[in-house]
Amino acid sequence: MKVERLKKWEYALICENEMGEDKLEAFIRGADGKLLGIRDKKTYRIDLSDIFYIESVDKKTFIYTEKEVFETGKRLYELENELHLPFLRISKSAILNIDKIHSLHADLGGRIMCTLDNQEHISISRQYAQRFKAILRGEENV
């Protein structure tokens, strides 16, 4: 993807691969580095850097920060398409901000257990573990 300046306040975004218009629009809308989350009937703008992980539970999607939990109207797959590294899908129901990992250790059945900076624990499923390891080693780009 390239950005070219046309005039003083005019830019062109050029995609070299087939990115659907909806994905491109989501990318542009998410460029401010914030997600909307709801808590106590109020809507908040949450900095991406404050997000530890995002989880889907009972058809609802929740955003977890260090000490707070927000609900979002977006589905997990929509957020996965909008977010890029350091966010990485780690299970069918969760996306993790890998910048918030404090430590890792192998768990039973090929899973990886993460301890986050806030001392919370989250598991990377066996299905996503190999890709996770490759990205941490810098062998794969997202």
DSSP string, 61-95: EEEE-SS-EEEESS-HHHHHHH--TTEEEEETTEE
Q: Which two tokens stand for residue 49?
A: 């850097």
Contacts of residue 27, Cβ cutoff 8 Å, sequence gap at least 6: 19, 82
pTM (predicted TM-score): 0.75
Mean pLDDT value across residues 108-131: 92
Question: Rg of the Cα trace of the chain?
Answer: 17
110-120, pLDDT tens digit by residue? 899 999 999 99
**Across all residues in the chain, what is the average pLDDT?**
84
**Does pLDDT of 86 surpass 70?**
yes
d(CA 96, CA 94): 6
Predicted confidence band at 47 (pLDDT cuts at 50, 70, 90)? Answer: very high
